Amino acid sequence: MSRSLPRAERGVQVRALKKSFGSHAVLQGIDLDVAPGEVVGLIGPNGAGKTTLMSCLLAFLHPNAGEITIDGLPNDDLRVRRRTGFVPERMNFDRRATGYSFLRYMAGLARVGNRETKVRAMLERLGIAGAADRRLSQYSRGMLQRIGMCQALIHDPDFLFLDEPTSGLDPNGVLLVRDLIAEQKQRGAAVLLNSHQLAEVGKVCDRVFFLNRGVIGREETLRHADRIVIAITMLPGFDANAIARIAGNAPKENVVIATVETEADIAQMVREVIATGAGVIDVRKHTADLEGIFRGVA
């Protein structure tokens, strides 16, 4: 595909989005942003409105109120769709088609140039080149998921919407999807990931939105592109005020969370904490406890 298209500049923006089915309000004023080069996770219990939100973002459904813009354009604009990739939870297509012909069709719809080469390369990349000439009816769930990823990525989208992309995949497939998401992020794509697998979300997402009963219950930043979040665990009996001054955060139980810019800053902060007389027993890069947060929100 010719990369004469502009790169994502503003990403995905959702403002005061509301969607009802009859009297049942499914989305009740959603605000969210996905910046270019950012992977955002969407998690929540069944019936929280995740699929409805995804459907609104992809212009399958018309919101009752609010605004969705993608790089400043309406989400149903063809210029946006040309730069959008979508992986559904379950791939449905003419099962008589071969993997190759299905992908060639999708590449044609996405106006991909040099289709043959690109299709072969994508099949190779996703590890299903050997099954290219087999009918989709003979594909396993995991293989269908892989070909779903192929069709979403074949035109190097700037906005990627993934609905349970690792569902049905073996561990190799899960690692592959993780790598692909990292590649898209590196490329500058804005990625929205809808998943029930909290561990997976924790590993790939920069931010997470917890959706519950049609509202964003909580937003959690898991990692920053240019900062490192660390958790320092100390023995009891430390000077909480001094630690809070150094870390910029009050310790909770025996742990203080701090944000630094470089690895040298980590060493410096640990030195300062030790200088207060605290017994440091563990320092590690911080990952949010999504399960704990999920329990709290849901």
Binding site for other proteins (CB under 8 A): 51, 54-55, 58-62, 78-79, 81-82, 84-86, 88-94, 96-97, 101, 105-106, 108-111, 151, 161, 163
Least distance from C-beta 99 to other proteins, angstroms? Answer: 15
Whichever of 40 and 54 has its CB closer to other proteins, that residue is 54
Of 94 and 124, CB closest to other proteins: 94
The least CB distance from residue 38 to other proteins, in Å, is: 20
Distant-in-sequence, close-in-space partners of 264: CB < 8 Å, separation ≥ 6: none
Nearer to other proteins among residue 50 and residue 185 (C-beta): 50
Assess contact for 252 and 263: CB atoms under 8 A: no
What's the closest the beta carbon of residue 263 comes to other proteins, in angstroms? 41
Q: How far is the CB of 271 from other proteins (least distance, A)?
A: 52
CB of 89: closest distance to other proteins in angstroms?
7
Give the count of beta carbons closer than 10 Å to the beta carbon of residue 114. Answer: 11
| Closer residue to other proteins (CB): 116 or 263 | 116
* Complex with other proteins: residue 184 or 230, whichever CB lies closer: 184
Closer CB to other proteins, 159 or 238, in the complex: 159
Q: Nearest distance from residue 162's CB to other proteins, in Å? A: 12
Q: Would you state the torsion angle of the CA atoms of residues 52, 110, 6, 158, taken in this order, to the nearest 10 degrees?
A: 40
- As measured in angstroms, the least distance from the Cβ of 295 to other proteins is 25
Q: Return the number of the residue (24 or 62) whose C-beta is nearest other proteins.
A: 62
- Residues whose CB falls within 8 Å of the CB of residue 24, separated by 6 or more in sequence, listed in order: none
